[in-house]
Amino acid sequence: MTEEKVVLVNEKDEKIGLMPKMEAHEKALLHRAFSVFVFNDKNELMIQQRALHKYHSPGLWTNTCCSHQRDGENNIDAGKRRLQEEMGFSTDLKETISFIYKAPFDNGLTEHEYDHMLVGKYNDDPNINPDEVAAWKWMSMEAVEKDMKANPSIYTEWFKIIFDKFQKHLTL
């Protein structure tokens, strides 16, 4: 199986090439990504714990799902694809804002992403893919914020950045 490629972009989110995902993370090159945030009718956020064997941030809690767009795939289609692959359901998504972040990891890899935030609504239980997700739960935004301050080491870097800087954009 060939390694998935990410879309390399400039700071205007214009495509400048393709590269295998691991190589892009090893070289800390800016690439396109998305983060999905799904809320229920109680305005609780569905968060997931990343599978324990993931190549970075294993076992950490994060937003509903996230990944990288494939070449030629728009943000909404990419978000819906990955939501189905990781969490086992589909729902309508809307784009909110985008931002660039860079986060190095202990294993020598670096996330340097042009991240597109996508928001959706869903009220049922997911059917998680154990290859991707270890656990999931619904949490109020207030509870996430409080727990993130008390236990920052159990959350992914990008989730902490989004929560700190872009929380107000997480609305339907």
Q: For tokens 């030629």, what's the residue? A: 72
Q: Which of 86, 111, 113, 132 is catalytic?
A: 113
> What's the number of CA atoms in the CB half-sphere (13 Å) around residue 14?
3
3-state helix, strand, coil in the chain (%, to 5): 25, 40, 35
CB-based burial of residue 10 (10 Å sphere; 0-12 exposed, 13-18 middle, 19+ buried)? exposed
Q: Do 121 and 38 form a contact (C-beta atoms < 8 A)?
A: yes
Q: Is 113 a catalytic residue?
A: yes
Q: Is 66 a catalytic residue?
A: yes
Q: Which of 66, 86, 111, 157 is catalytic?
A: 66
Other beta carbons within 10 angstroms of residue 149's beta carbon come to 11
Q: Do 47 and 61 form a contact (C-beta atoms < 8 A)?
A: yes
Active site residues: 66, 113
